[in-house]
Amino acid sequence: MSHIKKLIPMTVNPDLLKERTGAEFNVEEFAAWWQGGQEKLNTKREVERAIFSDLEDGYGLNHEYMSHEDVYNSSVKKVAEAAVKLKALQNKINPGGNDIWPGLLYNVESHGLFPANHPLATHITMFVDVINGQGTPEQVEKWGKAAENCNIIGTYAQTELAHGTNVRGIATRADFDPKTDEFVLHTPNLEAYKWWPGGLGHTANHAMVVAQLYIADVHHGVQMFIVPVRDAETHMPLPGVDIGEVGKKLGMVAVNQGFLGLDNVRIPRTNMLMKFAKVERDGTFKASPASRVNYLTMVYTRCLIVNLTSTLLLEAATIATRYSAVRRQSPFEANQPEPQIIDHVTQRLKLFPEIANGMAYHLAAEHMWEIYAQTVEEANSGKFDRLPDMHILSCALKVLATTDGCAGIERLRLSTGGHGYLTAANMSNIYGNAVAAYTYEGENTVLLLQIGRALVKAWATFVEKKPVSASYGYFATSMQLKQSPKWDNSRQCIIQALQYTAAQKTRIAFENLAERMASGQSQGVAANNTGIELARAAELHGRQFVCQTFLEQVTGPKAQMRSAALNKILENVLELFLVQTVLNNMNDVLRFISLTDADLKSLQKRLEVALEKFRPNAVAVCDGFGFHDRVLNSVLGSYDGNVYPRLFDSAKRSTMNQKPVQKSFETYLKPLMKANL
């Protein structure tokens, strides 16, 4: 296919060159800040050179023309081959660490190494971390290192065919048998089959099974158990194990999600994770010092989800922004040259707010990781006070990041016109990978209702004049005002308006819930009937948190470590995010805060000015995110901007184009064309 390679120039599209030379800040400084420092940026680039330089021609597209089974097997092959590279790199660059091996199996570089995904992500991100986080030192020694090195491969089996977000409804049982010092795990019915765990289908030989613990038929809550599911040598399912893959999905092609049924499968007592809750040899149960400690796993995973979704959103934004700088269409005036479509204000409105959203959620996730580290440290010392707050904030961030991220990716795909519909644009794969997170680790509406219930509980505490945790601190500052905050058009005013609105929506949800209960409805029925108000209050609670966090990250003490030019760009992004957020929620804001027509016109003007100011820097900001071409895997978003040669190149690679006539012609098409009417 030498003729295909000649299609793509070695030069960069002149429009992209113009965009880069016109940037008003140092892209290298932005990139170093985004990666967490120059050293991390240098390491990232060194790793990318090592792992991407020798990939075969067509590496990112070939899987699109494979069968379902071949895609899976090809992905396993890619993981095995990458493991050799990654282990060597780990030993070379950071011996004893885990940032490259196994870290690169799930971070952004994995999007380039495994364009169809791979089945080990759940193993690395959940199975390993749950063992290390909730196992005893003996359990970590026994399973932790082996799992980290992929000597054993596991998955996290919580969701069931008929039970997902409602963990308490899980039906899988683990009964303790004191005679043999074993747990007997059993799937009582079809609805209790484990369903969806990544890698479970044909990859994992262990599963972290979440089950209801019973001792002498007394229930002791949900616990986690390490269950071998396949033979270590033959990989055949073990006795009593019914296991397989759930089938093809909208995205995540090679993740190999599976189902699992257990028929009285026995495991040693010591296979239950016992860092917190314990079962002694005589069957004595020692409860966890905090009933919600198992939420640590879900909090950790939701932080990962926010990281992943913001990354996928920014990948899509980079593709769409570069394409918009190259594509020319629709002159503003007759007989004028066609402008870059990025110069159409309506196109900017499709692109730039998504860049702002991705950056806001990225920075919020970084902030959450700091809180998570503190929470784990305190939990290890027996302090669990921070955990409920952390749980609610992680729920809110997961909901908002996935809701806004998925909508944003689709908006960005649409912004690329017809070409974005091609799989070679990679927008469909990015969307397919992102949209799954809308449901897993807590379906978004269910999580909103959880947050809403926590809000009205906190409101009840507040009205009783008892102290509430810091994340609800805006209740007091908002309700101390004798009237709605005066609109002064400042950034802090926008955040104050969102907090005031969130507090008022929480108050209304609380009052309506109480009114329904007073009329005779049970608490559960009343909560269901108040669901719309609870969900809306929950969303606003999350939005004020993201806005406040973004403001602090951009204008707080960390700004002193950045140049004035970079801070100016970041403040432009912050301005765009805040203005767009308040405009998107204006229907609720106007219910509680008096804004004049002049105020609303001012917000509209601020939006237009923010878009205009960001225009010269849009491509450079996307460059600063540092997505390698292999990661973007898009004919529309390559760094060189050679969109049309790459589009034609991808078309020539279609397997159907490798033969001029398809076999169906002689068999079906020709007879059809020759048939008489």
Residue numbers belonging to the annotated binding site for FAD: 159, 198
- For this structure, is 182 an active site residue? no
Whole-angstrom distance, CA of residue 609 vs CA of residue 295: 43
Whole-angstrom distance, CA of residue 406 vs CA of residue 371: 26
Of 305, 470, 482, 474, the closest CA to residue 394 belongs to: 305
Which residue ranges are tagged as binding site? 159, 198
Catalytic residue among 109, 441, 533, 575, which? 441
Whole-angstrom distance, CA of residue 631 vs CA of residue 109: 6
Residue 620 burial class via C-beta count within 10 angstroms: exposed 0-12, middle 13-18, buried 19 and up:
buried
Q: Which two tokens stand for residue 248?
A: 């093809």
Of 477, 535, 548, 466, the closest CA to residue 506 belongs to: 535
**H-run or E-run covering 130:** helix 129-134
Burial code (b: 16+ CB inside 10 Å, e: under 16) for 127-136 equals bbbbbbbbbe
Residue 237 in contact with residue 243, Cβ under 8 Å? yes
What is the radius of gyration, based on Cα positions, of the chain? 27
Residue 246 burial class via C-beta count within 10 angstroms: exposed 0-12, middle 13-18, buried 19 and up:
middle
What's the first-to-final CA gap in the chain, in angstroms? 43
Residue pointed to by tokens 């606003």: 540
DSSP 318: H
Residue pointed to by tokens 């196992």: 135
Residue 378 in contact with residue 411, Cβ under 8 Å? no
Whole-angstrom distance, CA of residue 426 vs CA of residue 406: 14
Preceding peptide of 119 cis, ω within 30°: no
Instruction: Write out the catalytic residue numbers.
Output: 441
